Amino acid sequence: PVGQTPIVHGTGDRDSVNMISAISAQGKLHFQLLDNQNVNSKIFIEFCEKLLHDIDGKIYLIVDGHGSHKSKETQAFVKSTDGRLKLFLLPPYSPELNPDEWVWKNVKYDRIGRMAARTRDEMRAGIKDAFARLVAGPELVRSFFKSPDLAYIDSSSLVSC
């Protein structure tokens, strides 16, 4: 009601759920939530294997400088794909050049940051809903590539992670 400050019930506790995702300029989104795990080379490679399974043809993946993207294990895996997977490393400290940052902004700040999850399960459900919204709305994912900072991307073939 007018004049009454709304009360948001939450615990005040901080919690996190790690995620990995990849998007294409055609509006496709691939994501995975990680249970009590950080992204490492093994998890990144497993995610890439799923992408290779789900996407026909070559995959050009734009990645930031995360250690899992540059590790010897990852380099060996990419080499083993015989050119089907290619990684393009962004310059350090350049999140504006990574289209996947728009996914994180949308999920973390526009959706999850506005909810008062009381449990990890509630937070996971909110994250899944946010991703489901992006999967169901490829036009929103395509709009992420309209940023002037992303003009370098040939939107016909790239996937970002």
Of the candidates 101, 31, 99, 40, the residue with the CA atom closest to the CA atom of residue 73: 40
For residue 82, is it left (φ>0), alpha (ψ between -120 and 50) or beta? left
**Low-confidence winner among 53-62, 127-136, 145-154 (lowest mean pLDDT):** 145-154
Residue 97 — pLDDT band, cuts 50, 70, 90?
Answer: very high
Supply the DSSP string of 19-48, one letter for each residue.
EEEEEETTS-EEEEEESS----HHHHHHHH
pLDDT digits 0-9 by tens, 31-63: 998 877 889 999 999 999 999 999 999 999 999
pLDDT at 5 over 90: no
How sure is the predictor about 30, in pLDDT bands with cuts at 50, 70 and 90?
very high
What torsion do the CA atoms of 147, 150, 155, 160 make, to the nearest 10 degrees?
-110
The neighbour count for residue 32, using CB atoms within 10 Å, is 15
pLDDT per position as a tens digit, 57-80: 999 999 998 999 999 999 999 999
Q: Does domain 18-160 have CATH number 3.30.420.10?
A: yes
31 token code pair: 């994501």
Residues 73, 84: Cα–Cα separation, whole Å = 17
Residue 159's pLDDT band, with cuts at 50, 70 and 90, is low
pLDDT at 116: 74
pLDDT at 86: 96
Its pTM stands at 0.80
Partnered with residue 88 across adjacent β-strands are: 62
